[in-house]
Amino acid sequence: MKSLERILGLKREAVLLDSWLYIFKAMCAISVGFILGRTFAITRLDMISVLLGVMYNLEPINVSGLKGGINQLLASTLGAIITGFLVYIMNYQISFITIALGIGLTMYVALKIDYRMVSPVTIFTSIYMTQLLQTNALGQPSVFLTFRLRILALGLGVLIAMIFNLLFSLLYYRKIGHKRVEFVKIQSINAIKHTIKGLQDTSLIQSSEFVLASVFNDVDMVKANIETMMKEKFIPFNLKQKEQLSDLLKVVMHIKNMTHCAYDNLFIAHNLKEVIEESDLQKMNEIVNKLEEIDFLNKKESKLISDSLNTSTTRMSQNVKLMIQECQSILTIYNQLN
């Protein structure tokens, strides 16, 4: 039975990110999107934009979903205006030249606005304006009708996603902060374990560094989630809940600092060829054991790590000392949470 559950079930990390609820929310939202999209005479002509608009904007955080939806509409408008204007001045003669110029101009303007990236939605809409041209009552191709169809269909999908984000947030918003912190705690344990392996066997250092780099991404994601939740206006948090979110954010920052210290020890071992002391490895294992002992979803009182005299002045030992301090701070906040 357990083996079947292990095969069919999701990892605990995925569960902590509310993956089951996300799957259920996606199924409900896409069903409503299909029904409503087929209901309206205009949007039924472009169900792909409706359904993609729904799926692209389902987010765990309401504010993130709202910003994502607005950005998609703006990106679609940009792609539609640029390519639509080009199609119009070329008298609706669609060829490889039209498509190439449309994509090129769209990318140029998008990069002028934000040099870091070109939204895939912008590119999709640019192609859309050349390949799915709508015709008017006289059978003539129309840029305006194509633009209207794309924006209305996408807008309906975005609206449906916003509504479902809000409705489902009522089911899990109170616990989302604790779940995210528990998730990042598990990632930090994994990071420290890999650090210990890398320090014991230098051939594993490079692979351990890759693991820690991914943990930093997870930490930043959770940090952004909690910070966004603290600005949430759709779900009214009371003062106590806001204070808890603030405490959870501090835990995330302590985890990030602790992981930085672990990463620095790998850097020292890899580049300076220093060897960590056995006593420091024991302390790192003690940190792992203490973090595994606490659970942000099922709180139990936890004792702090016992103080031990550390007279070593090596950079590695100082990093381990800082890791213990960060762990102590995490345990202190954890014991104060309700």
Q: Which of 164, 194, 212 is the last residue of a domain?
A: 164
Inside any domain, residue 1? no
User: Are residue 84 and residue 35 in the same domain, yes or no?
Assistant: yes
Please check whether residues 129 and 183 belong to one and the same domain: no
pLDDT exceeds 70 at position 270: yes
Shared domain check, 155 and 303: no
173-193 pLDDT, tens digit per residue, is: 778 888 899 999 999 999 999
Average pLDDT over residues 250-272: 94
Looking at residue 28, its pLDDT comes to 95
In this structure, are residues 37 and 51 in contact, taking their beta carbons and an 8 Å threshold? yes
For residue 80, what pLDDT is reported? Answer: 86
Question: Would you say residue 310 lies in a domain?
Answer: yes
Q: CA dist 37 to 117, 159, 175, 191, Å?
A: 30, 12, 33, 46
Q: Mean of the pLDDT values across residues 209-224?
A: 91
Structure tokens at 199: 């320090």
Given a cut of 70, is residue 94 above it in pLDDT? yes
Same domain, yes or no, for 193 and 316? yes
pLDDT at 243 over 90: no
The verdict on 216 and 145 lying in the same domain is no
Q: Are residues 139 and 206 in the same domain?
A: no
5 pLDDT band (50/70/90 cuts)? low
> Is 179 among the domain residues?
yes
Helix segments in the chain, DSSP class H: 2-8, 12-16, 19-39, 47-56, 62-89, 96-113, 120-131, 143-200, 205-230, 239-267, 278-293, 315-336
Do 56 and 101 lie in one domain? The reply is: yes
Residue 325 CB neighbour total at 10 angstroms: 15
User: What are 282-324's pLDDT values in tens digits?
Assistant: 999 999 999 999 999 888 888 888 766 566 788 999 999 999 9
Chosen domain end from 164, 182, 213: 164
User: Does residue 30 form part of some domain?
Assistant: yes
Are residues 310 and 234 part of one domain?
yes
Confidence at 26, pLDDT banded by 50, 70, 90: very high
Report, as an integer, the average pLDDT of 84-98. 88
Give CA 37 to chain center in angstroms: 28
Q: Which residue has the tokens 């479902």?
A: 164
Nearest to 147 by CA among 120, 126, 118: 126
Q: Does any domain span residue 4?
A: no
Given a contact cutoff of 8 angstroms between Cβ atoms, the answer to whether 227 and 249 are in contact is: yes
User: Does residue 169 form part of some domain?
Assistant: no
Q: Are residues 192 and 318 in the same domain?
A: yes
pLDDT of residue 63: 58
Q: Which of 59-63, 76-80, 203-207, 320-324 has the highest mean pLDDT?
A: 320-324
Query: Is residue 45 one of the residues assigned to a domain?
Result: yes
**In 3-state terms, what secondary structure has residue 135?**
strand
The pLDDT > 70 percentage for the chain reads 93
Q: What is the pTM of this model?
A: 0.80
Neighbours of 145 (CB within 10 A): 16
**How many CB atoms within 10 Å of residue 252?**
25
Residue-averaged pLDDT of the chain: 86
For residues 77 and 195, membership in a common domain is answered with no
2 domain residue, yes or no = no
What is the extent of the structural domain holding 145? 10-164
The string over 272-303, giving b where at least 16 C-beta atoms fall within 10 Å of a residue's C-beta and e elsewhere, is eeeebeeebbebbebbbebbeebebeeeeebe
316 and 245 fall within a common domain: yes
Residues 132 and 220 in one domain: no
Radius of gyration of the chain (CA): 26
Does the pLDDT of residue 232 top 60, yes or no? yes
Instruction: State the pLDDT at residue 1.
Output: 56
Indicate the residue among 118, 134, 164 that finishes a domain.
164
Segment 241-265 shows an average pLDDT of 93
Higher pLDDT among residues 230 and 262, named by residue: 262
Structure tokens at 78: 């940009």
Quote the number of domains for the chain.
2
